[in-house]
Amino acid sequence: MNQIKTIGLTFLLSLFSLFSFAQQFGTIKGKVSTSNGKPAAFISIGLKGRGLGTISDENGLYTINRVKAGTYTIKASAVGIDPSEKSITITAGQNLVVDFTLKENDQVLEEVTVAGKNSRYKISLPSASLRLNEPLLEAPQNIQTVSDQVIKDQQIISMSDGLIRNVSGAVRLEHWGDMYTNITMRGSQIQAMRNGFNVVSSYWGPLTEDMSIVDHIEFVKGPAGFMLGNGDPSGMYNVVTKKPTGFNKGEVSFTLGSYDLYRTTVDFDRKLTADGKFLFRLNAAMQSKGSFRPYEKNDRYTFAPVLSYQISDRTKFTAEYTLQNAKMTEVGSYYIFSPAGYATYPRELTMTQPGLPPTRMNDHSLFLNLQHNFSDTWKLTAQAAYFKYLQNGYSSWPSAVNANGTLIRNVGIWDAESSMKLAQLFINGQAKTFGINHRILAGFDGGKKNYMADWGQSHDLDLPTSPFNPNHPDYGFPTNGFPDFDRATPLAQRAVAAGGLMDSKYLSGYIQDELGFFNNIVRLTLAGRYTYVSQSAWGGAPDKAKHITPRVGLSVSVDKSMSIYAVYDEAFTPQSGLLRSGATPKPITGNNKEIGIKKDWFDGRWNTTLSAYRITKQNELTTDPNNAFIQDPNFPNDPTKQIKENFSVVLGEKRAQGIEFDLRGKIVEGLTLIANYAYTDAKVTKVTPGVEGINAGDIIPGFAKHVSNAWLTYTLQNGALKGSGISAGFTHLAGRATDTWSVGLQKLPNYFKLDGGIFYEQPKFKVTANAFNILDKYLFSGSYYQYLNAYYYQAEAPRNYRLSIAYKF
């Protein structure tokens, strides 16, 4: 009893001390504007000689918390402008408002925004589409951002082109090539978002984004379900597209690379009216790209105009259209199959057939966004999106692999069409009651998604009497001829016959209040979401579900540059699939528990995040290990016409847990670093009775136990070669798990890739040259398919090079 009293007294004294400590501080906030009244974003605001400061957000607003009572000089500064200083006096508990008006107009501030936002590897603020109204340091969530500068330095040209090296624990299964990205993190595939909308229309997609339209990418780890209508608790990534900045500027770049890579991009940003109310931005790209494998192509073009109009001082409307067109070799062309194991053939080997028509995709998207500021602290956002995806093409997969290594190549039709109509309405606000700060978020999400596909027609290219021999490949006219698929019948009818219909309707409402105690030192997040979903797959009846999920988060600022957090979030993800029993799948349930620590170092120049998590999920569907090829019911008398079963099984329960560490930013002047490490352990903890081929304790396929990455860049700051520099980075994967339950006898070996390059940059132009896979290792990923009695793998390119020249105007 005495011990309990002692603990209680100690807690109360500690709480009183913390409260008393908080009362010694005040808060400085304000707005930074240009001389014509426009908000000035990404301006550094700080107290001279105190190492205490922040950066203005996209609306020019800033807040400096926990300022000791006293007299200071506060300074607004950025590259390319004369600093503005003011003398202030702040008392304990005071909320002092200090606004700045910069003498320079917004034309002069063009390079300020570019320097403030894009020249850094570290971004301190979330995009508006994440709906979080606070700095990333204070959010009870692990959020990592890949900036535009990182994308340029590493010469990343698409979402699936090495971008995930910049985020701890993210891995990518080998399937789909550069068609779909499909990122796995924390033991599950994470959701794909664009400007805050969930853009996954089915099990496939979206079409991987071309980097010409991308401003930056936000990876939200862990409980992302609250930010989605429905999604996986492992997380999501949010692609933030480029918008007009209000500055007259532009950039054109040319890239040449190995294997016939030719690429041109244009970024044109303009004010259409002198007052800067009507803005326009156009991003476009054209690419022709070959491969180290013969007969393989990936040609693309992208066109993305954006219009923005400032209706009033408080209201802004933005309309954005994007077209992505891709013409590429059929899906599956990059796979190798062998009964003998991985990497048994030269990595340049291809099993595709020259003469097959290319697969074509047209991806259209339209975003409409309306923002209205009721005041400096309350904002309403309404946005809608429409997506239309059209695909006409093929996929290839063998129908048989013989024990001697020969095989029968098979080509299947894959025509598809999808549409998505999505809408959001949410409000962000701040208030204060009885000394408690409130950051309030409330809103609605709704959407309707439809996907239809014909994958019910297939054709063997080779005859059993003359199979394809990988040791002596013959790419002449195939012995069984080319396919002649039915495309005269409308796709909607073919999709019904193939079981290729999927749809989803959802509606959700949510409210969140982050309560700030002791001058916002302690922040408690309380939230709840109601979700209703009706969805179906494979042409089956719709599955309906509704649920309320809570969310609790706690974030505590140890000092001005360090915070610790904990979060608890429940999972609710309705799912569709075919069970052999004919039963209706239940929604995924479970929870995520996470703790972490974040710290900004040396006035915020670089940041570290360390987190530990445990995710448990029940009732998740996974591919049935016993799926096999069966006779195509559309061709009952033709033994060469076979289709693979697409049954799922209910896993029971799985647990994913691990530790993640991320570091990014400017270590010292001229030296920037991105480094990360993740340990992931994902296992089956319970198996549903009757499920065969999966056992408790089995590793969940689709991740690597140890993932580590680094990218280091050094730029000379003085001398004749000022602006030139060198960069280098690596990716290492150990303990790789395959993406199927049939793991065969061989495990995937550890993976190590080394890249690096040189660059030279001046205010108007930049030249970048990088080499990839410098050590020229035979890199691959793959798995084992029991029904083929063969390993399959996809090799990566040998040592290759890229050279880019960019000119700003």
- What CATH number should be reported for the domain holding residue 191? 2.170.130.10
Is residue 115 in some structural domain?
Answer: no
- Supply the pLDDT for residue 653: 87
Is residue 108 in some structural domain?
Answer: no
Question: What percent of the chain has a predicted confidence (pLDDT) above 70?
Answer: 89
Give CA–CA dist 714/225, Å, rounded: 38
pTM for this model (two decimals): 0.85
The bridge status of strand 191-194 relative to strand 235-241 is: parallel
Note the helical H segments in 647-702. Answer: none
Q: Which residues pair with 530 in a beta bridge?
A: 509, 548
- Supply the pLDDT for residue 227: 57
What's phi and psi for 165, nearest 5 deg? -65, -15
281 or 65, higher pLDDT: 281
By the 10 Å C-beta count (0-12 exposed, 13-18 middle, 19+ buried), 120 is classed as: buried
- The total of structural domains in the chain comes to 3
- Supply the pLDDT for residue 671: 92
Given pLDDT bands bounded at 50, 70 and 90, which one contains residue 604? confident
CATH code of 67's domain = 2.60.40.1120
Give CA–CA dist 131/120, Å, rounded: 23
HEC profile of 761-799: ECCCEEEEEEEECCCCCCCEEEEEECCCCEEEEEECCCC
784: which 2 tokens?
């084992």
From 593-607, 679-693, 783-797, the region with the lowest mean pLDDT: 679-693
Rg from Cα positions in the chain: 27
DSSP line for 258-324: TTTEEEEEEEEEEESSTTS-EEEEEEEEEEE---SSTT--EEEEEEEEEEEEE-SSSEEEEEEEEEE
pLDDT tens per residue across span 386-425: 999 999 999 999 999 999 999 999 999 999 999 999 999 9
pLDDT tens per residue across span 90-127: 988 788 899 988 765 444 444 444 334 434 688 888 88
| Mean predicted confidence (pLDDT) in 354-370 | 96
Other C-beta atoms closer than 10 Å to the C-beta of 769 total 16
**For residue 17, pLDDT beyond 60:** no
Give CA–CA dist 594/615, Å, rounded: 9
Whether residue 274 is found in the same domain as residue 307: yes
Residue with tokens 């013409």: 327
Amino acid identity, residue 67? V
The overall average pLDDT reported for the chain is 87
Instruction: Quote the distance between the C-alpha of residue 506 and its chain's center.
Output: 22
Whether residue 302 is found in the same domain as residue 437: yes
- Supply the pLDDT for residue 538: 77
208 or 5, higher pLDDT: 208
CA distances to 205, 434, 518, 575 from 192, rounded to whole Å, are 8, 40, 37, 16
Give CA–CA dist 668/781, Å, rounded: 37
From 20-29, 87-96, 269-278, 361-370, the region with the lowest mean pLDDT: 20-29
Is residue 469 in some structural domain?
Answer: yes
| Mean predicted confidence (pLDDT) in 507-522 | 93
Smallest CA-to-CA distance from 523 within 562, 568, 551, 564 is with 564
Sign of CA dihedral 778, 780, 784, 785: negative
Whether residue 213 is found in the same domain as residue 254: no
Whether residue 254 is found in the same domain as residue 237: no
Give CA–CA dist 737/686, Å, rounded: 19
Contact (Cβ atoms closer than 8 angstroms) between residue 84 and residue 46: no
Given pLDDT bands bounded at 50, 70 and 90, which one contains residue 24? low
The domain boundary, picked from 200, 222, 241, lies at: 241
539: which 2 tokens?
């042409």
- Supply the pLDDT for residue 78: 64
- Supply the pLDDT for residue 446: 94
- Supply the pLDDT for residue 103: 66
Whether residue 673 is found in the same domain as residue 787: yes
Whether residue 260 is found in the same domain as residue 179: no
Give CA–CA dist 65/55, Å, rounded: 13
DSSP line for 355-411: TPPPEEEEEEEEEEEEEEESSSSEEEEEEEEEEEEEEE-EEE--SEE-TTS-EE-EE
Whether residue 517 is found in the same domain as residue 664: yes
Give CA–CA dist 547/587, Å, rounded: 10
Is residue 11 in some structural domain?
Answer: no
Instruction: Print the domain residue range for 175.
Output: 128-241
Residue with tokens 């063997």: 460
207 or 740, higher pLDDT: 207
| Mean predicted confidence (pLDDT) in 295-321 | 95
Is residue 737 in some structural domain?
Answer: yes
Give CA–CA dist 276/247, Å, rounded: 8
Is residue 583 in some structural domain?
Answer: yes
Coil, helix or strand at residue 225 = helix
Give CA–CA dist 26/95, Å, rounded: 6
From 253-267, 272-286, 531-545, 629-643, the region with the lowest mean pLDDT: 629-643
Whether residue 571 is found in the same domain as residue 664: yes
Whether residue 198 is found in the same domain as residue 337: no
Whether residue 189 is found in the same domain as residue 273: no
Contact (Cβ atoms closer than 8 angstroms) between residue 722 and residue 759: no
Give CA–CA dist 568/522, Å, rounded: 17
Whether residue 491 is found in the same domain as residue 374: yes
Instruction: Please list, residue by residue across 554-568, b when 16 or more beta carbons sit within 10 angstroms of its beta carbon and e when fewer do.
Output: ebbbeebbebbbebe
pLDDT tens per residue across span 669-680: 889 999 999 999
Smallest CA-to-CA distance from 577 within 563, 567, 568, 587 is with 587
Range from 81-95, 458-472, 693-707 that averages highest in pLDDT: 458-472
Smallest CA-to-CA distance from 327 within 350, 355, 351, 297 is with 297
> CB-hemisphere CA count at 13 Å for 779?
18
323: which 2 tokens?
């077209």
**For residue 537, pLDDT beyond 70:** yes
Residue with tokens 């012995």: 479
Residue with tokens 């939200």: 220
| Mean predicted confidence (pLDDT) in 694-700 | 83
CATH code of 556's domain = 2.40.170.20
What's phi and psi for 41, nearest 5 deg? -90, 155
Contact (Cβ atoms closer than 8 angstroms) between residue 799 and residue 774: yes
Given pLDDT bands bounded at 50, 70 and 90, which one contains residue 36? low
Give CA–CA dist 341/343, Å, rounded: 7
339 or 699, higher pLDDT: 339
| Mean predicted confidence (pLDDT) in 627-636 | 68
> CB-hemisphere CA count at 13 Å for 81?
29
Is residue 586 in some structural domain?
Answer: yes
Given pLDDT bands bounded at 50, 70 and 90, which one contains residue 728? very high
Q: Which strand (E) or helix (H) includes residue 607? A: strand 606-618
The domain boundary, picked from 193, 224, 241, lies at: 241
- Supply the pLDDT for residue 114: 39
- Supply the pLDDT for residue 363: 95
Q: Which strand (E) or helix (H) includes residue 22? A: helix 2-23
The bridge status of strand 790-795 relative to strand 780-785 is: antiparallel
Whether residue 232 is found in the same domain as residue 352: no
Q: Lay out the sheet containing 410-413: strands in order across.
A: 394-396, 410-413, 458-460
| Mean predicted confidence (pLDDT) in 22-29 | 73
pLDDT tens per residue across span 217-272: 999 987 655 555 556 678 889 999 999 988 889 999 999 999 999 999 999 999 99
Instruction: Please list, residue by residue across 635-651, b when 16 or more beta carbons sit within 10 angstroms of its beta carbon and e when fewer do.
Output: eeeeebbbbbeebbbbb
Give CA–CA dist 370/316, Å, rounded: 6
Give CA–CA dist 506/549, Å, rounded: 15
- Supply the pLDDT for residue 105: 44
The domain boundary, picked from 67, 102, 137, lies at: 102
Is residue 15 in some structural domain?
Answer: no
